[in-house]
Amino acid sequence: MAYRGALSFAILFALLIYLAAAGCGQATPEETVYRFLGAVQSHDSTAMRSCVNPEALDKAANGEGELARQWEELHRRYMVKPVNWRMEFEGIGLETSYLGQDRALVRIASGRCELYKLKEGTWETAGEIDFSTQDFVPLYVVAKEGRWYLEALDLYIVYGLESMARS
């Protein structure tokens, strides 16, 4: 009986450690961008948000006027169920330029992004990006307490990717 209690406590403790780490940035700027793109592909909004500087998220959540309206519109467009979009990334290669110890620009230098839209129950190709021939805005990444975070808000990046894929 004591063994079961200790095992349950160990599992609970491991789960709490995992959940605490899930809300943190990553060890390198590249890991942050890769994690973010993976979260976009899997529609994992919690993981997407964990890659963004918490201060930027607070500013958006407490925003007023035009900022609040834009944020609400993006939230409705990308997060309200049923989700009718999806992006698939393949062969992503990154180039990083450090701007100091705690700031970097990460450029998606190669690979592809396919955009799909759900129409009448069928996923249809809606656009694509070839990062080796098309320049996407470099992602600004900052270090906070030894972890790296995107400075841009997650839904703005998704919007930028969708817009580029459609053009």
What pLDDT, in 10s, does the model give residues 114-130?
Answer: 999 999 989 999 999 99
Q: Give 66-111 pLDDT, tens digit per residue.
A: 878 888 889 888 888 778 999 999 999 999 999 999 999 999 999 9
Name the region of 104 (left: φ>0; alpha: ψ -120 to 50; beta: rest).
beta
Buried-exposed string 103-125: b where 16+ CB fall within 10 A, e elsewhere: ebebbbeebbbbbbeeeeeeeee
Task: Determine the pLDDT at residue 117.
Answer: 94
Q: Which domains does the chain have, with CATH numbers?
A: 2-166 (3.10.450.100)
Mean pLDDT of the 22-47 span: 90
Which of the 8 DSSP states describes residue 5? H
Confidence of residue 24 (pLDDT cuts 50, 70, 90): low
For tokens 């307490």, what's the residue?
Answer: 145
The first and second tokens of residue 21, run together, are: 């780490």
